[in-house]
Amino acid sequence: MYGGDEVSAIVIDLGSHTCKAGYAGEDAPKAVFPSELSTVGTFGYAYVFINVKRCSGKQFDRNGAAGALNFRLFTIPSLHATKTSEVKFTEVVLTKVSLWLFFAVAAHEGKEDQIELMLVKVVGSIDQMEPDDPDNSDKNSASIPDSKSVVRPFDADSKSVVRPFDAEKSKGKRKLYVGSQALGYRRDHMEVLSPIKDGVVVDWEIVENIWDHALRDCLLIDPKEHPMLLAEPSSNSQQQREKTAELMFEKYKVPALFLAKNAVLTSFASGRATSLVVDSGGGSTTIAPVHDGYVLQKAVQSSPIGGEFLSDCLMKSLESKGLTIKPRYSFKRKEIRPGEFQTVDLDFPNTTESYRLYSQRVIAGDIKECVCRAPDTPYDGVNPMNTYSSCILSFAESSYSNIPMTPYELPDGQTIEIGADRFKIPDVLFNPSLVQTIPGMESFAETAALVRGLPQMVIESINKCDVDIRRELFSSILLSGGTASMQQLKERLEKDLLEESPQAARVKVLASGNATERRFSVWIGGSILASLGSFQQMWFSKSEYEEHGASYIQRKCP
């Protein structure tokens, strides 16, 4: 047992879209920032041994006879890069194929020679440098060094020591940028990464950086002095929970820890011990029944359709109409006359696809929040089980052909008109088959055909619960998450459930009138729980961790 009431506990809710952190007992989190982060891979010098078997009928030895390949040192991408990458140099193009093998096309005296086979092998490295370090700009250039100063690692009589290239060491040297400001600043070759996929943590290094940012940069606290309450998804595995406990006790040295399910915290935030929680966040939508403070795992339902998926649908739909969202970094606006601005496009060829997509999603998400709302009724005549996209498309066009247009001003000053998409995009939550009507989203059509709409998921989840609590669950359906804050979503879900649920059921969908409370309901529930006096005996203390190990978390936090 831990007496956690001496100091304020810290509550952290790491969602698929944002991370919320703050003190227990407060009404709202102190820090809210994206749970994605950006990374710039480090560059370094590496010794490269080139073995040319045959080149246009000419034979070359390892010293580069005939002056074709008279260099021994290249700047190459660090080996932890995940995507196939091409880096062009004065005399060579390297294309990453595997960890050690590269194929290259060399130029001989300004002309491209056809190489039948070239094997390029990394055999050693020199200390790496940061790519964006202004002090090392000269050192980072791809100039070919003087052949006399180059140490050839394949020379047996060389006394110089060449260290093996350590990919794991290189991985630890990548620069990670966390927070809204850091993500808002564009950098060359910067990738945007998320630690969570399908509601489960897949990259613990990113999670550690997010926790560091929340605790040390935002809350400015020493984690050794505060117990931690962490929100977790209902589908979290035992392995994930034990890893969380190990990190918190071993790295952060917290005095006590508690892991609580998202659905349970949402239920507590509304003052209920039994409810059906519909949590629609950035990455997915989860339906979880809670009975007497415990999640009924057998009845949990999930869908991959969340806020980011809807944002992608909106972007693709706008692009099909010739409206492309320009990321904020791709232009600048200057005032040419009072009240009159001119937009100048900027070209950044080294911007990664992931960062461009992230920047566009931010704008698309704002459009979605400002103008989109769930329609009162589904598209007329559309059968959710219909897989014929042409039929669905014709119905969709006829249903919302007379929708009035709503203006929205993009960051570049362009005003766009949004009509049917205002209702069509949110309706994907209720009828995933509508994805087939959105140009550019055809690749998701097969997946969408297998996904059920919100009303069907709710009824299926309740039917998997004990018959004695179904009536109570129907009357206590709670909405939470950022996507659930969409206008008219509560009314539409209640209307559809009344039509599809048993007559004896008394359907009641509950949602906070305050959109902020609905968005932060998981965190607010954790804040309430961790501040209760009766809860203080529930903590998983550091002494219990040292005595029983990480697996004891299953017993302390069921």
Summarised one tens digit per residue, pLDDT across range 395-431 is 445 556 677 889 999 999 889 999 889 999 999 999 9
Full-model pTM: 0.75
- Fold classification of 10-40+175-262+522-556 is Nucleotidyltransferase; domain 5 (3.30.420)
Alpha carbons 23 and 31: distance in angstroms, whole number: 10
Is the predicted pLDDT of residue 136 greater than 70, yes or no? no
Residue with structure tokens 């999670």? 207
Which residues of the chain form CATH 3.90.640.10? 306-450
Count helices and strands in the chain by DSSP H and E runs: 17, 28
- Residue 442's pLDDT is what? 81
Alpha carbons 493 and 479: distance in angstroms, whole number: 10
pLDDT-based confidence at residue 379 (cuts at 50, 70, 90)? low
Alpha carbons 261 and 232: distance in angstroms, whole number: 5
Summarised one tens digit per residue, pLDDT across range 453-501 is 999 999 999 999 999 999 999 999 999 998 988 989 999 999 999 999 9
Lowest mean pLDDT across 46-50, 382-386, 439-443: 46-50
Q: To which H or E segment does residue 508 belong?
A: none
What does the longest C-alpha to C-alpha distance in the chain come to?
90
- Fold classification of 306-450 is Actin; Chain A, domain 4 (3.90.640)
Summarised one tens digit per residue, pLDDT across range 142-179 is 333 333 333 333 333 333 333 333 334 444 457 889 99
The torsion region of residue 112 among left (phi > 0), alpha (psi -120 to 50) and beta comes to beta
Torsion angle (degrees, nearest 10) of CA 380, 386, 390, 395: 0
Task: Using alpha carbons, select from 285, 292, 223 the residue that is nearest to residue 264.
Answer: 292
- Residue 91's pLDDT is what? 33
pLDDT-based confidence at residue 393 (cuts at 50, 70, 90)? very low
Summarised one tens digit per residue, pLDDT across range 468-477 is 999 999 999 9
First to last CA, the chain: 16
Which tokens in the block code for residue 112? 């491209």
| Cβ pair 404, 357 in contact under 8 A | no
Residue with structure tokens 């091409």? 86
Is the predicted pLDDT of residue 100 greater than 70, yes or no? no
Which residues of the chain form CATH 3.30.420.40? 10-40+175-262+522-556
DSSP alpha helices (H): ranges in 324-399? 353-371, 389-399
Alpha carbons 275 and 277: distance in angstroms, whole number: 6
